[in-house]
Amino acid sequence: MEVLMLLEVDRLKRSLPLEPSASEIMQGQVGIIGIGLLGKALSDCLACAGFEIYGYDIAQTESGAFHLFPSASAVFEQCDTVLLSLPNSNIATSVIDDVIDVIAARHCILDTTTGDPEQIEALGVRLAKKGASYLEANVAGSSVQMRERKAVLLLGGEADVVAAQEPLFSTLAKKRFHVGGVGAGSRFKLVHNLILGLNRAALAEGLNLAEALGFEAKRALEILKQTPATSGVMETKGLKMAARNYEPPQARLAQHHKDVRLILELAAKWEAKTPLSAAHRELLARAEELGFASADNAAIIEAYRAKG
């Protein structure tokens, strides 16, 4: 098993082109709870940089470049620093419920979950009572961008705790922004996701119109990329939409649908107008009805292509 893990780490080092410099690398143990698309990318980046990774996921059966533990509690018992990479803040809260008796002042929990800011704040208060540190480390970018160190970290929490975790954060991302206390990371991530998601929806709407008017989608993309209409979303999602190729997903459509629901709830609370996001939610719901919940979020274009 040990030999297989060393081979996997060596493979990752060869496959990650933007490996951190020696000054950014810090040896150490890091736990990860939740090894989905993003969690796997996080563990790969850290393993490549020399961190020893201890992971747990309810559905995970293969360890890859990290030690797979049988429970979240076992990870917290082993590691002082633990990353959470979970689908939503309800699940993050449930995980903390399960491990609360193990958590102590030595622990620093870094939460990458895009969740309800109020739930995130409540977690911060609860963990502070145990003497533990808690930071939001929201990821602006896909699992692919995380592997390439092109994602951006949006950090929420105490400045001194952020500074203490800088060696780990600098390993994961070249760009990092401390946006405020606990809760601020989730709020800013939802602002980011609103804009990014509407960019995808606008691209999908435009390509669908191009197809309806008789233009071939791939050719339309070639032209649009040379105009002021071009965008990062066009680069990452355009060909997926044109080719109707949504596997393997970089980020799942259902996950963004969850984010849009959170955006609308937050906007309603703060009386911010979000009519485009309301329409976006309907498109995402339609795409899920069509069977694209687990597909890449570029599949939103199928809501436009569907008849009726």
Q: What phi and psi values does residue 196 have, to the nearest 5 degrees?
A: -65, -45
Q: What is the pLDDT of residue 307?
A: 85
Q: Calculate what percentage of the chain has a pLDDT beyond 90.
A: 87
Share of the chain above pLDDT 70, in %: 89
Q: Can you give the pLDDT at residue 145?
A: 96
Give yes or no for residue 2 having a pLDDT over 80. no
Residue 123 pLDDT greater than 50, yes or no:
yes
Q: Strand 81-84 to strand 108-111: parallel, antiparallel, or no bridges (unpaired)?
A: parallel
pTM of the model: 0.88
Question: What's the whole-number mean pLDDT along residues 207-216?
Answer: 99
Mean pLDDT along residues 183-206: 99
Q: How many Cβ atoms sit within 10 Å of the Cβ of residue 62? A: 6
Q: Is the pLDDT of residue 201 over 90?
A: yes
Q: For the residues 109-121, what does the mean pLDDT come to?
A: 97
Whether pLDDT at 12 is above 60: no
Quote the pLDDT of residue 105: 98
Residue-wise pLDDT tens digits, 17-67:
444 433 333 359 999 999 999 999 999 999 999 999 999 998 876 656 679
- Whole-number Å distance between alpha carbons of 262 and 254: 13
Contact residues for 215 (Cβ-Cβ < 8 A; gap 6+) = none
Domains, the chain, ranges and CATH? 2-182 (3.40.50.720), 188-305 (1.10.1040.10)
In tens, the pLDDT along 260-306 reads 999 999 999 999 999 999 999 999 999 999 999 999 999 999 999 99
Mean residue pLDDT across the chain: 92
Comparison of pLDDT for 9 and 240, the residue scoring more: 240
pLDDT value at 84 more than 80: yes
Q: How confident is the model at residue 256 (pLDDT cuts 50, 70, 90)?
A: very high
Partners of 296 in the β-ladder? 252
When mean pLDDT is compared across 12-26, 203-217, 229-243, 274-288, the lowest value belongs to: 12-26
Residue 84: Cβ-neighbour burial (10 angstroms; 0-12, 13-18, 19+): buried
Please compute the mean of the pLDDT values over residues 7-26 and round it to a whole number: 43
**Quick one: residue 107, left, alpha or beta (phi over 0 = left, psi -120 to 50 = alpha)?**
beta
